[in-house]
Structures are given as structure tokens and as C-alpha cells.
Amino acid sequence: MKITLQFALASVLLMMGWRIAHAADLPRAGDTAPSFLLADQSQKTHALSDYAGKWVVLYFYPKDDTPGCTKEACSFRDDLGQLDKLGAKVIGISVDDSDSHARFAAKYHLPFPLLADKDGAVAEKYGALNNFGIFKIARRYTFLIDTQGKIARSYSSVDTSRHSQEIIEDLKKLRNP
């Protein structure tokens, strides 16, 4: 029991240390957002350059159809009208494939692109990849990208129950300083 508890504690501390050490890998406000070219749930290819002149809410999430990811996606879906009025486009990215994204989008009526970053290369560019060798998963990070393609805000600590509203509040402030 004592060894199991020590192992669990050591694992948690290692992950916390790793997260802090890699926080410097995140693009920061003012940095040019890393480009991408990925297929969505309908096999349509999307590039960041397709959204030039628009605000982009680029959110990375761990796994389709899991409780936290579903809550986050549905919140963006429910708040899409407000985000549209603010000129923002929502894009989700995970390491799941397009077929998984298609099932997830259909099940929850998600009207925005979910991009398949199967090898995790884009998530890695954004510092949002947990790579465990044979297993990769995206971290729950979001990047608000301005009309010039620059990172306006990054979110590495996301509360799925209020994240969409947090983005809306920040967009209002950033658009009308």
C-alpha cells in the first residue's frame, strides 16, 4: 500500500513537473500561430491560412465522446451564435481520426470543424501533445488567434464548464480594448 501511494505521488509530481517544464513550449501572446493543414470530420482539408482576417478559437482536446471533451464541444456549439457575432470561428483538434470525429460531430450536432491530427504534429507545434511513446493524446489547451494570425491568448488551464464563456469575455475585451 505504501509503495503504491509513493508511486502514485511520484507519478503526479513528475507529470506536474513535466507540464511546468513544457509551459515554455506554448506559443505566447504576440507569437505567430503555427500553421497547420489537417482534414476534418468530412475529410475537408483546413489550413490556418483559410481563416485569415478572422478570429480563431483553436482548441485541443484529448478524446472524442468523453465526458469533459463532450461538455467543452457542446458549450462551444451552444455559444456559437455569440462567437459568430464576435467574428470568431471555432476549430477543435485531437489525435483521433476523421471517422471518430464524424461520429462525435454527428452525435452532438457539432457544426464546426474537428481536425484529425493523427500523428500529433500540430498539437506538438502548439505545445499541446502528451507523447507517451506508443500512446499520444492532446492536452486540453486553447489558443485564441487574432485576425493577423497571431496568438492573442493561450489557455493551458481549462474549466470545460465555463471555457466557452471565458473565450467570449476575452474576445469582447480584445476586440474593444
Residue 74 annotated among the catalytic residues of the structure: no
Task: Give yes or no for a contact between 42 and 102, defined as CB atoms under 8 angstroms apart.
Answer: yes
Residue-by-residue DSSP string for 93-143: EESS-HHHHHHHHHHHT--S-EEE-TT-HHHHHTT-EEE-SS-EEE---EE
Q: Which of 33, 39, 58, 69 is catalytic?
A: 69
Q: Measured on CA atoms in the order 15, 20, 22, 23, is the torsion positive or negative?
A: positive
Q: What is the DSSP letter of 34?
A: P
What positions carry a catalytic annotation? 69
